[in-house]
Amino acid sequence: MSAQECIFCKIASGQIPAVKIYEDEIVVAFLDIGPISDGHTLVLPRQHFEKVHNCPPELLGQIWTRLGKIANAVALATGADGYNVLCNNGRAAGQIVDHLHFHIVPRKAGDGVFAKWPSYKYGQGRAEAIAEKIIKFL
Ligand code: 5GP
Ligand code: ZN
């Protein structure tokens, strides 16, 4: 998806409407059109990058500088007991819109959102073997 065809670029530039809650020269934040809880918000850089690893670290820092303040406001306004900050990268991870964005999902105790969290235990030596492979790519 090119930046020209990107729905989030169009929202950021005002070509397509969205219920915005915050914007400045770096980021735009607006309510998700298909929320999984009231106040579900998306925060994205104005500049088009597909995934976290495509985004320059300085810009990631600028996004995260704003994320805490926005997340706190979302949580306070919705009376949330907590919130998740999520970033889906790639189709397998559930990324539908190829413009880097962070979900802020306000949570209530016992709301059942993300009830399925398929946790398991590593077998003997497996965590160390995986870590060794990852470290080679860093
Ligand atoms: P992803 O699955 O890519 O991490 O999340 C994309 C999110 O963008 C989805 O939760 C979806 O509901 C939201 N979304 C997609 N198109 C629009 C739109 O045109 N306006 C708004 N406000 N949200 C959108
Ligand atoms: Zn874009």
What is the structure's pLDDT at 3?
76
Residue 15 token pair: 């070509």
Kindly report the number of other CB atoms within 10 A of residue 103's CB atom: 18
What is the structure's pLDDT at 27?
98
DSSP class per residue in the chain: --GGG-HHHHHHHTSS---EEEE-SSEEEEE-SS-SSTT-EEEEESS--SSGGGS-HHHHHHHHHHHHHHHHHHHHHHT-SEEEEE---SGGGT--SSS--EEEEEE-TT--TT-------PPTTHHHHHHHHHHHH-
Domains contained in the chain, CATH given: 7-136 (3.30.428.10)
Task: Please list every protein residue whose CB sits less than 6 Å from any atom of ligand 1.
Answer: 7, 18, 30-34, 42, 88, 94-97
pLDDT tens digits, one per residue of 50-76: 999 999 999 999 999 999 999 999 999
Please state, for a pLDDT cut of 90, what percent of the chain lies above it.
Answer: 95
Distance 57 CA to ligand 1 centre (A): 24
- Range from 3-7, 11-15, 31-35, 43-47 carrying the lowest mean pLDDT: 3-7
pLDDT tens digits, one per residue of 88-107: 999 999 999 999 999 999 99
| Residue in 40, 41, 97 to alter for ligand 1 test, most ligand atoms within 8 A of Cβ | 97
pLDDT tops 70 at residue 1? no
pTM of the model: 0.96
